[in-house]
Amino acid sequence: MSYKIEPVKKLPISKKVGRTNPIYNNIIEEINNKPKGFYKITIEGKKIGTLYQMFNKRLKGNKTLKLYIRDKELFIEKT
């Protein structure tokens, strides 16, 4: 059994960096700039549960936007 220890000048960047998708934040920002009402959100290749989870996480504490799932579709209400 052999092993090798090498000195490193700099720690490599975490693989988690860049994994977050800014599209969710962009959608929230765009809806904030729109008038009050209901907006249907669809992202190709994403399941409704995934979308709900990602938006719900980002909307915690936000009192102007609310999430709804109706007939397997995701809606955001701006009040």
pLDDT tens string, the chain, 79 residues long: the values are 788 888 889 887 776 655 667 888 899 999 999 999 999 999 999 999 999 999 999 999 999 999 999 999 999 999 9
Amino acid present at 65 = L
Residue 13 is assigned to a structural domain of this protein: no
Rounded Cα–Cα distance for residues 79 and 76 (Å): 10
In a domain, 43, yes or no: yes
Q: Which domain holds residue 45?
A: 23-78
In a domain, 1, yes or no: no
Number of separate domains in the chain:
1
Q: Assess if residue 9 is contained within a domain.
A: no
pTM for this one? 0.72
**Centroid of chain to Cα 19:** 10
